Amino acid sequence: MDINFPVSNSSEKNQYTYNFGFDARHYLPIYRNFIWATRAAADFSWGKQKLIYYLGGVDGWLAPKFNNANKPEPDQTYAFQTLAVNLRGFNQNVANGNNAFVFNSELRLPVFSTLLNKPVNNAFIRNFQLVQFLDLGTAWNGKYDKFARPGVVYTDRNNPNNPVTFITKAGGIGPFAGGYGFGARSTLLGYFLKVDVAWEMNGVFKGKPIWYFAMGLDF
């Protein structure tokens, strides 16, 4: 938990920003180096100047795509902004608000270090792994009674003089938007690189998937 107070606004009272969050993880061995990794994380912000969480995408995304059509609700005052990740199958800002929750599940198979019975000297081969994942997440503004599945906002700009904006419910489970897919990871030139392909949880491999190229060792 952290509390922030703007120095430049020190003459104003009650301008505090409060944030509380948690990040819980569990790793279950399946066979040798083959594991099932799970994560649940949530963040909550309140006070006069809140922190806004943009839900969607992955951490360390090298070419991020942001949904500018999904505007924050105007009845809130936000002082800071950050991402709520990972939620693959969606671009950044599929939903936003001062509260966010994500759940991640990954089956991680380091192919060569699991199947071979001898040391592997090459870092790329030794660290190469295949991943199957499932992500769930939501973000909302205001009180907890607004905890619900996000609506994805799209803007049709075929007519630049009169663009049309529409909202459709995101694919997912219950109050959570969801995505699933497959990925690969390994080390190249000292960097841990990841590539994932994900589908929105709206049927079985239905629709166009989103590709993610990212850096980092996290989920």
What is the tens place of the pLDDT at every residue in 114-168? 999 988 899 999 999 999 999 999 999 987 777 778 887 766 656 566 667 777 8
Is residue 10 one of the residues assigned to a domain?
no
Is residue 146 one of the residues assigned to a domain?
yes
Count of domains observed in the chain? 1
Tell the residue number behind the tokens 């509390």, with chain if given.
Answer: 3
Domain extent, residue 121, equals 17-215
Residues of the chain with pLDDT under 70: 5-14, 154-163
Is residue 5 one of the residues assigned to a domain?
no
Q: How far apart are CA 50 and CA 18, in angstroms?
A: 7
Taking a C-beta distance cutoff of 8 angstroms, is the pair 107, 129 a contact?
Answer: no
Q: How far apart are CA 57 and CA 202, in angstroms?
A: 17
Q: How far apart are CA 59 and CA 194, in angstroms?
A: 10
What predicted TM-score, i.e. pTM, was given to this entire model?
0.89
Per-residue model confidence (pLDDT) at position 163: 65
Per-residue model confidence (pLDDT) at position 143: 76
Is residue 1 one of the residues assigned to a domain?
no
Q: How far apart are CA 156 and CA 9, in angstroms?
A: 40
Is residue 95 one of the residues assigned to a domain?
yes
Per-residue model confidence (pLDDT) at position 7: 66
Is residue 6 one of the residues assigned to a domain?
no
Is residue 100 one of the residues assigned to a domain?
yes
What are the Cα distances from residue 183, in Å, to 112, 120, 142, 152, 213? 16, 22, 35, 24, 10
Strands (E), 48-143: 50-55, 78-84, 95-97, 99-110, 129-140
Is residue 2 one of the residues assigned to a domain?
no
